Amino acid sequence: MAQHSRIALPDIDYNRTDYAALRAYCSGIPVARIGDLYYASDSPEVENGLERHLKRMRDHIVERLIERNPEFAKVLQTARLSRDISTSQLGILVQAAEATNPGPNRDHRLGQWFRPTISRLLREEGITTIGELVNRIERRGAGWWRALPRIGARRADAIVRWLSKWPEHLGQIDAYQLRAPANTVSAVRPVLDPRAPNPIAPLGTFQLPPYLAGVDGINRAPAFCFIAARDDLEAVDTFLARYDDSPETKRSYRKELERLLLWCALVARKPLSSMLAEDCLAYRTFLAAPDPRFCGPRAPRNTERWRPFDEKPMKPQSQRLAVVILRSAFDWLIKVRYLGGNPWVTVKDPAVTKRKHMMKIDRALRRDTWETVVEILQRLGEVEANRQDRVALAALLLMGDSGLRRAEVVSALRANFIPSPDAAGVWMLTVEGKRKVERDVPVNSRTEEALRAHWCDRDVNFDDPTRRGYLIAPIVTPVAKAEAKRQAREQRANEMGTEEALAELEQGNNYHVNSLYYVVDVALRRVRAFAAALSLNEMPAFSQDEIIQLQRTSPHAFRHTYATNAVEDNVPMEVVQDVLGHVNIMTTKVYAKTRQRRIAQEAAKQFARNEDAAEKRRRERT
């Protein structure tokens, strides 16, 4: 237990006698003589071991000073290993120890306050300061430690308890302010109280008071209802259940209905089933500028910090999508005779500037930028410890060289990845895309090599024909999360009792689409950092414009990168359409005009001809 709870360096609280004794010890005076000169025979320092006390005092001061002033590290690098400390070194130590210590600050490095083992484990995961640690805890809630190797529950609890001792310096740590899980039975969910200081909670964690529940909503249909919903929350749950097989669609619909339900309860103070056209117009205005209570940074849904809106204002496109989704949901509630009419039909969609191309194909990387990203990730992946770089490389190549979507990457199976019998050096991967449509995607040899390296990191034989695992999977999965996923698969297998369910059980864990976004984001940050270090000794890897573009690059931009490069390589348009899984070839043809490159190139030729002609005329006149 002690090794988990002793995570912080002890507070330095030594007196002048201790400092004088330390000077004598470092000067080579025998410990027995030091005890006679400076301490009483029954003092705790002598009874518990004076030499141990002096060594511990020396080590504590050195550790904290090195972290607080890294430039002293070289001077003091032998101070913890020997009694041979010079007078100048000892003066530095005493001066630092006697200085007042106001407590931890968000800008302080971890090693200044935590033991070396803890600070090293956190630094390996990119957490270098106290502020970064606090932000992670507040962002991820009570499970903040699960993805960190060797930071178990007891160590995590000790870290949070220590951080909570400094509210005036670090703020209140609310990692353990958790809500009831979303699958809690409705009867035991807390009632949403609009008068509470922080009444905002995600859908599935509360029930509405009777006057807001919608049992007697003025828009309830008088005819026989086709669903068994008694109130608005149950009606919304029934509507969302229709999209259980489409997680992304369900997430979008839940988000908008969740926002509307909270607005009805906390702002309009009326049930959803009592909304009129005026209420719909008011909510549309609310979307453009939400109440500050509804906004906040991204946080786990089961924490008090969760908010339905981001801190940034909603874009007009997002506002329009919200209105469209709500109008569609109300249409369905009318069809099942839960509502009598749809007030959203009276509301115009928010004005949106129509983009020339609906897809943001301008985010595609240029070929040389894309190849440089791949080359840097390959170089990073050559280091044995950089397993996450090898995961990111395999994922990026599947998107950038084969045009897969994020969801297709995380769901791709090894059993569906086979060498092509028709072309050497080409592998074919069968994936399930939008609308549950399967398609075959070609994969090149460098992607295959990256996948083999990733499987080697997972200690799994890539060439074993019996393997049913995911092509991309986490290297380290928290035990609790892995066990929960396995139990869910076992339950489905027992219920279905089919060979397909048992095969799913053997596949293991895979990435969530949002987790893959994080993997790619971290990889691109490492690429930019590596390129910055490389530019100090060699030619810059990226121009300033390319660095700015990489900072804004999302995983889907690599799918656009593949399509752009394929079109520029004169791959037949119908082949690119099949690889990308587009229903309409006109969608694919958009890539032939990305960045207006052709227009710019032809314009440059025309401008050059005009300048040459003008120069020729000037020479003739002279």
pLDDT per residue over 518-576, tens digit each? Answer: 888 889 989 988 888 776 566 677 888 888 888 888 888 999 999 988 988 888 999 99
Q: 351: helix, coil or strand?
A: coil
Encode pLDDT of 383-430 as tens digits.
Answer: 888 889 999 999 999 999 999 999 999 999 998 999 999 888 899 999
H/E element, 417: strand 417-419
On whether both 213 and 334 belong to a single domain, the answer is: yes
Does residue 8 surpass a pLDDT of 80?
no
Q: Which residue type occupies 385?
A: A
On whether both 529 and 582 belong to a single domain, the answer is: yes
Average pLDDT score over residue span 293-298 = 90
* 8 A C-beta contact, residue 200 and residue 293: yes
Encode pLDDT of 253-264 as tens digits.
Answer: 999 999 999 999
Helices (H), 296-411: 316-335, 367-381, 387-400, 406-411
What pLDDT score does 495 carry? 56
On whether both 369 and 286 belong to a single domain, the answer is: no
What pLDDT score does 137 carry? 83
| Total domain count, the chain | 4
Does residue 179 surpass a pLDDT of 70?
no
- Helix axis angle for 367-381 and 445-457, nearest 10°, is 30
On whether both 278 and 213 belong to a single domain, the answer is: yes
Does residue 169 surpass a pLDDT of 90?
no
What pLDDT score does 423 carry? 87
What pLDDT score does 595 carry? 47
DSSP 585: H
What pLDDT score does 99 carry? 54
Would you place residue 486 in the very low, low, confident or very high pLDDT band (cuts 50, 70, 90)?
A: low
On whether both 194 and 327 belong to a single domain, the answer is: yes
Residues 6 or more apart from 144 whose CB is under 8 A from it? 136, 137, 156, 175
Q: What are phi and psi of 542, to 5 degrees?
A: -130, 150
On whether both 303 and 271 belong to a single domain, the answer is: yes
Does residue 586 surpass a pLDDT of 90?
no
Average pLDDT score over residue span 8-15 = 61
Would you place residue 232 in the very low, low, confident or very high pLDDT band (cuts 50, 70, 90)?
A: very high
On whether both 229 and 319 belong to a single domain, the answer is: yes
Average pLDDT score over residue span 161-174 = 80
Would you place residue 280 in the very low, low, confident or very high pLDDT band (cuts 50, 70, 90)?
A: very high
On whether both 122 and 18 belong to a single domain, the answer is: no
- Helix axis angle for 387-400 and 367-381, nearest 10°, is 150
What pLDDT score does 177 carry? 53
Would you place residue 290 in the very low, low, confident or very high pLDDT band (cuts 50, 70, 90)?
A: very high
More confident residue, 503 or 272: 272
Percent of the chain with pLDDT over 90: 33
Does residue 9 surpass a pLDDT of 80?
no
Does residue 502 surpass a pLDDT of 70?
no
Does residue 436 surpass a pLDDT of 50?
yes
Residue 134 lies in a domain: yes
More confident residue, 503 or 621: 621
On whether both 165 and 207 belong to a single domain, the answer is: no
Average pLDDT score over residue span 246-255 = 90
Residue 607 lies in a domain: no
Domain span holding position 323: 186-346
Would you place residue 174 in the very low, low, confident or very high pLDDT band (cuts 50, 70, 90)?
A: low
On whether both 327 and 223 belong to a single domain, the answer is: yes
On whether both 269 and 192 belong to a single domain, the answer is: yes
What pLDDT score does 493 carry? 55
H/E element, 438: strand 438-443
DSSP 365: P
* 8 A C-beta contact, residue 404 and residue 432: no
Residue 536 lies in a domain: yes
On whether both 307 and 381 belong to a single domain, the answer is: no
What pLDDT score does 90 carry? 65
